[in-house]
């Protein structure tokens, strides 16, 4: 089992920045895929970013160029650095982890068995 704990959410104005952190504990291995998902009110859960054990990231089109996912294997942590935030980024953000499938990190929520409780991010106009 892997336990995940998020931190760093909060409220900012449009154009501001936030850094979300996710710390993993338990049966953590270097081969895990680590990801961030988000869910806005009335919408489905979508992948924001994921990173594999080689540090190779994948981003949703809506956040490319604004968000960066960073892995720190030494601390069993990864981070989501969010810049140029927009009101449409307002959502509850979830950290997720699981082992890759067929060598790839999945992009669907159902592909991640280990999940954090989520942390709220609010961006005001």
Q: What is the mean pLDDT of each run of 10 residues along the chain (125 residues)?
A: 93 98 86 93 94 89 96 88 97 94 89 95 97
Containing 64, the helix (H) or strand (E) segment is: none
pLDDT of 53? 82
Nearest to 88 by CA among 62, 106, 56, 68: 62
pLDDT of 35? 95
pLDDT of 36? 97
Task: Match 């935030």 to its residue by tokens.
Answer: 85
pLDDT of 125? 92
pLDDT of 23? 94
Residue 37 tokens read as 């998902």
Cα 61 to Cα 92: distance, rounded to the nearest angstrom: 18
pLDDT of 52? 87
């Amino acid at each position: 089992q892997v336990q995940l704990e998020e931190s760093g959410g909060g409220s900012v104005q449009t154009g501001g920045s936030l850094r979300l952190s996710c710390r993993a504990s338990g049966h953590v291995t270097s081969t895990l895929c680590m990801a961030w998902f988000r869910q806005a009110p009335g919408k489905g859960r979508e992948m924001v970013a994921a990173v594999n054990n080689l540090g190779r990231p994948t981003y949703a089109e809506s956040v490319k160029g604004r968000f960066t996912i960073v892995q720190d294997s030494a601390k069993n942590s990864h981070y989501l650095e969010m810049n140029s935030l927009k009101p449409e980024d307002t959502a509850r953000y979830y950290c997720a982890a699981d082992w890759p499938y067929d060598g790839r990190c999945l992009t669907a929520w159902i592909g991640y068995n280990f999940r954090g409780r989520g942390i709220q991010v609010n961006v005001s106009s």
